């Protein structure tokens, strides 16, 4: 039963990763204000050269910056939140680790393109969104998927894209783009996806 819930959760996350309206103002700023503001805002102090105020956040976003649109796995911003609390680089420097759900919201925001204000996208952001749409097609749209990634459908018809890591007893181990892996019982996948998992392990 818990596994079924996990699957539903995975599929729901997979869907939010593609939602367009995920932006910093609505999804992430409230989390930052609660956990990071004392040390990372122009209203207070700017430690480590990182101000998280929306008007200057653009400085931290880019292919080689701490927030890498569409690539939360390599965003230093997220890495620091996931470190062990005792690690030197762990953030927040003071206070409790962010709840898992909040880290996932931040990851989903980065995966969706790290847009600051979806109502008023900058020229760069509009371009980025267009590029992301062409390079990362939604699963099942018939365009080629990233190598190694497959679409998986559950019995309720929801679809996610994930890498297949192998079978564990009667469950498929799947790796999402954000680096998280999940164990999904074959019985909760639709017939075709379950068959695909079996085919992928067969030599
Ligand atoms: C008590 C103060 C404090 C709080 C709260 C805090 N930080 Fe920091 N942060 C620092 C200091 C000091 C540095 C610079 C030293 C370092 O890089 O470790 C830093 C550096 C960083 C960096 C590194 C920038 C780089 O160029 O690599 C990131 C990213 C970061 N913080 C994110 C966060 C986030 C996100 C939060 C909230 C979840 C947070 N911090 C909360 C003090 C804090």
What are the pLDDT digits (tens) for 71-107? Answer: 999 999 999 999 999 999 999 999 899 999 999 999 9
pLDDT for the residue 142? 43
Spatial CB neighbours of 82, under 8 Å, sequence gap ≥ 6 = 103
Bridge partners (DSSP) of residue 175 are 163, 181
Ligand 1 neighbours (beta carbon < 6 A): 35-36, 38-40, 47-50, 66, 76-77, 80-81, 89, 91-95, 98
Q: What is the DSSP letter of 23?
A: -
Greatest extent of the chain over all pairs of C-alpha atoms, in Å: 59
Give the residue, 152 or 47, on which the prediction is more confident: 47
Out of 30, 31, 36, mutate this one to test ligand 1's pocket (max ligand atoms within 8 Å of CB): namely 36
What distance in Å separates the CA atoms of residue 79 and residue 115, rounded to the nearest whole number? 19
The residue written with tokens 């420097």 in the block is: 93
Mutate to test the pocket of ligand 1, among 28, 35, 39 (most ligand atoms within 8 A of CB): 39
Q: Give the whole-angstrom CA distance, residue 100 versus residue 129.
A: 26
Residue 19, pLDDT > 50, answer: no
Residue 16 has pLDDT above 60, yes or no: no
Looking at the CA of residue 77, tell me the nearest atom of ligand 1: 29
∠ CA 34-53-17, nearest 5°, is 75
Q: Tokens representing 123? A: 């020229």
Q: Within 10 Å of residue 124's Cβ, how many Cβ atoms?
A: 13
Superfamily for the 1-18+138-203 domain: SLA1 homology domain 1 (2.30.30.700)
The terminus-to-terminus CA distance of the chain in angstroms comes to: 31
pLDDT digits (tens, 9 = 90+) for 156-203: 888 888 888 888 888 998 888 877 888 889 999 999 889 888 888 776
Could you tell me what percent of the chain has a pLDDT over 70? Answer: 82
Residue closest by Cα to atom 19 of ligand 1 = 48
Query: What is the DSSP pairing of strand 181-185 with strand 171-175?
Result: antiparallel
* Dist. CA 187–CA 169, nearest whole Å: 12
How many angstroms is it from 80 CA to the middle of ligand 1? Answer: 8
User: Per-residue pLDDT for 128 more than 90?
Assistant: no
* Residue ranges of the chain that CATH labels 2.30.30.700: 1-18+138-203
């Amino acid at each position: 039963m818990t596994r079924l819930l996990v699957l539903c959760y995975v599929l729901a996350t997979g869907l939010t990763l593609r939602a367009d309206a995920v932006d910093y103002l609505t999804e992430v700023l409230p989390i930052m204000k609660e956990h990071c503001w004392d040390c990372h805002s122009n209203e207070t102090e700017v430690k480590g050269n990182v101000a998280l105020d929306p008007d200057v956040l653009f400085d931290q976003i880019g292919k080689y910056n701490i927030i890498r649109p569409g690539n939360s796995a390599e965003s230093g911003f997220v890495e620091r939140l996931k470190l062990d609390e005792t690690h030197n680089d762990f953030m927040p420097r003071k206070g409790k680790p962010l709840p898992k759900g909040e880290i996932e919201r931040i990851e989903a925001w980065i995966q969706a393109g790290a847009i600051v204000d979806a109502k008023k996208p900058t020229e760069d952001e509009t371009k980025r969104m267009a590029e992301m749409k062409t390079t990362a097609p939604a699963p099942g749209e018939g365009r080629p998927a990233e190598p190694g990634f497959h679409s998986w459908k559950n019995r309720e018809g929801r679809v996610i894209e994930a890498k297949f890591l192998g079978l564990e007893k009667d469950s498929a181990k799947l790796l999402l783009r954000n680096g998280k892996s999940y164990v999904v019982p074959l019985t909760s996948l639709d017939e075709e996806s379950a068959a695909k998992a079996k085919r992928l392990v067969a030599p």
